C-alpha cells in the first residue's frame, strides 16, 4: 500500500466496548449474502482449527455512493458519440464520487475499533478498509465464521479460511458489501500443454506459435513496436502463486525476439516475486505481453497480498483504487465460475471495474478454458458462465487455433475458448444489436434452457490460444494452450495502438467495448468456423455455441488484423 493510506486510530474505550457488546449480543443479525466459496476445492486439505491467536488480514468493502452517476459517466467517456468521450476521471475524481458516506465510515471504523482490530488501512477512494485481527477477534466479530488452516495447490500453499458463512450485525449490514479473506481459495491454472500434432515433413511449416508467428498472422511489421519516447505502459496481473524469472524473459527474447525491437526486462514489479521455480503461466503472460506490445514499458502485478489470509485478486483491486498513475492496459488471466460467488461480491467487483473504466483503463480478461462450461442441478444441465469474463465493464478475450496447426493460415475456434451468457448481468446496451443478430441467425443454437439469452454475452474479441512456445526455468516448452495466451497478445496490440494515439495527442483507448461494438468488428478477422465444448450429455453431446459471421459467443468479433485495427482505433 502507498503512503496515501489513511490510518484508523486504535485504542479501546469503555463506550466502544459497550457498542461491541450490543452488536455481538444482538439477537438480530444479518448477512449480506457474503462471498462464500465453502466447498473445498480439489487438492486442498484441512489441517484443523486455526490457532485463536493467529493473526488475520481481513478486507471490508464499504458501501459506496453515486453508483448510478458513475455508470452514466463511464458511458459518456467510453462512447465515441459522446462529447465527453476520452475525458477520463482522475482517481481523485472517482474518490469524490464513490466515497462512502460519513455515517458509513464512522460506523464501520467504530465497529472495528471496538473489536480490537489494529493497523487498519484504507485506500484513496476510502471504500475498502483492510485490518489486522486475531482469529479469536474475527470469530467474535463475524458471527458464524470458524477459521481453519488449509494446505493445497501445486505449491502446497498454506491459507487460513472459514468453511462456514458469516453474519454481519444488523446495524452494520447497510454499510458493508462483503468481508474478504474468509472463503475464497487461491485459483489454479487452466493452461494445458497439448500433444504435438503429427505431420509428415516440416518444410515451410512452423512448429508452434512464437512472436514471429503472431506478428506474421496479425500483420505486424518490424516497425510496429513502441517508440520509447512516450510514458505509455502496460501491465499483467498474476494471482497463481507463480512467478516469472528475468532470465527466462531474456532467453525467450534471445530465441524468439530477434526480428523486432523489444525491452529486455520488466519495468516494475508490484507485489513480491517468489524465489522458487518459475510458473509456465506467469512466464507466458510476461513473454507474450512484452513481445506483442513490443518495446513498451511493462508492469507485473505479482501475487500482491502474500499473507495467508489475503486474497491476491482482491489485493489487486485495492491497488487499482490506491494508485493515481497506472498503465492504460491491464491483462488478467483469471476467473471463477459465476455460481461459486455471491451476488454481493460479484456486483461489488463489477463496480471496481466500472471505476477503472471511468479512469480510462482497458481491462482485458481471459474468457476461460472450459468452452461454455457445464453444471448440473437435480439432473438438469446448464452452461456455466465465468466471472470476471462476464462483467460488462471488461473486454473479454476468447481463443482460436490455426486451421492448419503448422501453417500461418486463417483461424478457427479453439474448442476450449470460454464464452456464453451471464446469469448475473443483463445484456449491456452496447451489444444489444450484435447479440440479437447472433441469436436470430445462428443455425446451431443450443437448447434455450442451457443459457440466459438476455445476459451479458462474451467474449468480445479473440486471438490465437493454441500451441505456444514459452521459456520457463531456462527450458523452452512447446504447445502451451489457453486463453491465458490470447489475452496478453491482444493486450499488447492495444498498447501499440495506444502508443500511436498518445503520439497523436489523443487519450488512451480506455474501456473499449462501446467503440468495439459500434464499429461492428472493423479491423478484426472474423472467425466463422468451429464450436466450443460444453456438457457431455445426450442432449448437446459436448457442443456449446458455434462461431459464425459477425459477433458470436465463442470468438467475439474475431482476431486482430493490426494495420486495419490501428486505422480503426487511432482517431478519436
246 annotated ligand-binding residue: no
Residues with Cβ within 8 Å of 156's Cβ and at least 6 positions away in sequence, in order, are none
- Are residue 264 and residue 146 in the same domain, yes or no? no
First to last CA, the chain: 35
| Residue from 281, 311, 336, 533 carrying the catalytic annotation | 281
Picking from 125, 160, 180, the residue at the C-terminal end of a domain is 180
- Are residue 252 and residue 124 in the same domain, yes or no? no
Question: Looking at residue 556, which CATH number applies to its domain?
Answer: 3.40.50.200
- Are residue 427 and residue 514 in the same domain, yes or no? yes
**Number of other residues whose CB lies within 10 A of the CB of residue 73:** 21
| Residue from 139, 285, 311, 336 carrying the catalytic annotation | 285
- Are residue 154 and residue 217 in the same domain, yes or no? no
Residue 221 falls in which region: left (phi positive, over 0), alpha (psi -120 to 50) or beta: beta
Range of 454's domain?
211-570
Any domain includes 376: yes
Any domain includes 463: yes
Contact in structure between 157 and 191 (CB atoms under 8 Å): no
Any domain includes 560: yes
552 annotated ligand-binding residue: yes
Contact in structure between 443 and 557 (CB atoms under 8 Å): no
Distance of CA 96 to the CA centre of its chain: 25
% of residues, the chain, pLDDT over 90 = 70
**325: Cα within 13 Å, side-chain hemisphere:** 5
E-strand stretches of 166-258: 168-169, 176-180, 192-193, 233-238
Distance CA 370, CA 389 (A): 12
18 annotated ligand-binding residue: no
- Are residue 167 and residue 288 in the same domain, yes or no? no
Any domain includes 90: no
Distance of CA 380 to the CA centre of its chain: 29
- Are residue 172 and residue 218 in the same domain, yes or no? no
User: One digit per residue, pLDDT tens: the chain, 572 residues?
Assistant: 333 333 333 333 333 333 333 333 333 344 444 444 456 777 788 888 999 999 999 999 999 999 999 999 999 999 999 999 999 999 999 999 999 999 999 999 999 999 899 999 999 999 999 999 999 999 998 999 999 998 887 777 788 888 888 888 888 889 999 998 776 766 665 565 556 554 444 444 658 999 999 999 999 999 999 998 888 999 999 876 678 999 999 999 999 999 999 998 999 998 877 667 788 888 999 999 999 999 999 999 986 445 555 678 888 998 899 999 999 999 998 888 999 888 899 999 999 999 999 999 999 999 999 999 999 888 899 999 999 999 999 999 999 999 998 899 999 999 999 999 999 999 999 999 999 999 999 998 999 999 999 999 999 999 999 999 999 999 999 999 999 999 999 999 999 999 999 999 999 999 999 999 999 999 999 999 999 999 999 899 999 999 999 999 999 999 999 999 999 999 88
Any domain includes 188: no
Q: Quick check: is 281 catalytic?
A: yes
Q: Quick check: is 285 catalytic?
A: yes
Residues with Cβ within 8 Å of 403's Cβ and at least 6 positions away in sequence, in order, are 409, 410, 411, 412, 529
**Number of other residues whose CB lies within 10 A of the CB of residue 278:** 24
Contact in structure between 479 and 219 (CB atoms under 8 Å): no
86 annotated ligand-binding residue: no
3-state secondary structure of 433: helix
Picking from 129, 161, 180, the residue at the C-terminal end of a domain is 180
- Are residue 260 and residue 127 in the same domain, yes or no? no
Picking from 180, 201, 233, the residue at the C-terminal end of a domain is 180
**How many structural domains compose the chain?**
2
- Are residue 334 and residue 483 in the same domain, yes or no? yes
Query: Phi and psi dihedrals of 178, rounded to 5?
Result: -160, 165
- Cis geometry, peptide bond prior to residue 459 (ω within 30 degrees of 0): yes
Amino acid at each position: 500500500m502507498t503512503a496515501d493510506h489513511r490510518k484508523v486510530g486504535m485504542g479501546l474505550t469503555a463506550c466502544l466496548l459497550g457498542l461491541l457488546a450490543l452488536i455481538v449480543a444482538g439477537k438480530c443479525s444479518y448477512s449480506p449474502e457474503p462471498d462464500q466459496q465453502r466447498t473445498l476445492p480439489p487438492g486442498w486439505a484441512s489441517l484443523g482449527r486455526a490457532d485463536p491467536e493467529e493473526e488475520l488480514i481481513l478486507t471490508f468493502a464499504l458501501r459506496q455512493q453515486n453508483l448510478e452517476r458513475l455508470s452514466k459517466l463511464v458511458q459518456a467517456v467510453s462512447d465515441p458519440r459522446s462529447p465527453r468521450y476520452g475525458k477520463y476521471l482522475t482517481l481523485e475524481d472517482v474518490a469524490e464520487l464513490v466515497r462512502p458516506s460519513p455515517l458509513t465510515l464512522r460506523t464501520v471504523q467504530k465497529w472495528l475499533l471496538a473489536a480490537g482490530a489494529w493497523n487498519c488501512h484504507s485506500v484513496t477512494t476510502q471504500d475498502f478498509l483492510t485490518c489486522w485481527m486475531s482469529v479469536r477477534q474475527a470469530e467474535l466479530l463475524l458471527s458464524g465464521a470458524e477459521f481453519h488452516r488449509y494446505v493445497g495447490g501445486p505449491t502446497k500453499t498454506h491459507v487460513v479460511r472459514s468453511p462456514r458463512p458469516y453474519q454481519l450485525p444488523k446495524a452494520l449490514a447497510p454499510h458493508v458489501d462483503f468481508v474478504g479473506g474468509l472463503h475464497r481459495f487461491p485459483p489454479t491454472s487452466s493452461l494445458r500443454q497439448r500433444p504435438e500434432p503429427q505431420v509428415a515433413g516440416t518444410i515451410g511449416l512452423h512448429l508452434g506459435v512464437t512472436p514471429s508467428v503472431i506478428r506474421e498472422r496479425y500483420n505486424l511489421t518490424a516497425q510496429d513496436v513502441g517508440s520509447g519516447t512516450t510514458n505509455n505502459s502496460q501491465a499483467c496481473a498474476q494471482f497463481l502463486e507463480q512467478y516469472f524469472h528475468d532470465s527466462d524473459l531474456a532467453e525467450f527474447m534471445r530465441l524468439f525476439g530477434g526480428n523486432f525491437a523489444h525491452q529486455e526486462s520488466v519495468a516494475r514489479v508490484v507485489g513480491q516475486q517468489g524465489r522458487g521455480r518459475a510458473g509456465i503461466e506467469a512466464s507466458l503472460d510476461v513473454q507474450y505481453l512484452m513481445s506483442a506490445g513490443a518495446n513498451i514499458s511493462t508492469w507485473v502485478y505479482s501475487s500482491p497480498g502474500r499473507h495467508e489470509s489475503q486474497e491476491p485478486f482482491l489485493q489487486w483491486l485495492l491497488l487499482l483504487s490506491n494508485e493515481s498513475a497506472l498503465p492504460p492496459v491491464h491483462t488478467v488471466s483469471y476467473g471463477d465460475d459465476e455460481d461459486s460467488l455471491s451476488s454481493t461480491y460479484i456486483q461489488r467487483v463489477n463496480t471496481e471495474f466500472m471505476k477503472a473504466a471511468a479512469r480510462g483503463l482497458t481491462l482485458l480478461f481471459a474468457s476461460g478454458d472450459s468452452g461454455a462450461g457445464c453444471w448440473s442441478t437435480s439432473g438438469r444441465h446448464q452452461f456455466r458462465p465465468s466471472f470476471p469474463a462476464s462483467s460488462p465493464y471488461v473486454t473479454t478475450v476468447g481463443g482460436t487455433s490455426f486451421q492448419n496447426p503448422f501453417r500461418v493460415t486463417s483461424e478457427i475456434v479453439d474448442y476450449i475458448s470460454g464464452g456464453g451468457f451471464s446469469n448475473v448481468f443483463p445484456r449491456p446496451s452496447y451489444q444489444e444489436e450484435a447479440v440479437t443478430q447472433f441469436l436470430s441467425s445462428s443455425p446451431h443454437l443450443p437448447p434455450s434452457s442451457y443459457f440466459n439469452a438476455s445476459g451479458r454475452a462474451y467474449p468480445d474479441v479473440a486471438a490465437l490460444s493454441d500451441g505456444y512456445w514459452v521459456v520457463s526455468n531456462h527450458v523452452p516448452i512447446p504447445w502451451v494452450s489457453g486463453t491465458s495466451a490470447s489475452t496478453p497478445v491482444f493486450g499488447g496490440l492495444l498498447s501499440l495502438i495506444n502508443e500511436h494515439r498518445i503520439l497523436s495527442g489523443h487519450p488512451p483507448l480506455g474501456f473499449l467495448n462501446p467503440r468495439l461494438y459500434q464499429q461492428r468488428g472493423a479491423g478484426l478477422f472474423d472467425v466463422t468456423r468451429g464450436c466450443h465444448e460444453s456438457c457431455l450429455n445426450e442432449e448437446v453431446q459436448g457442443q456449446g455455441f458455434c462461431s459464425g459471421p459477425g459477433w458470436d459467443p465463442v470468438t467475439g468479433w474475431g482476431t486482430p488484423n493490426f494495420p486495419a485495427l490501428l486505422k480503426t482505433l487511432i482517431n478519436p
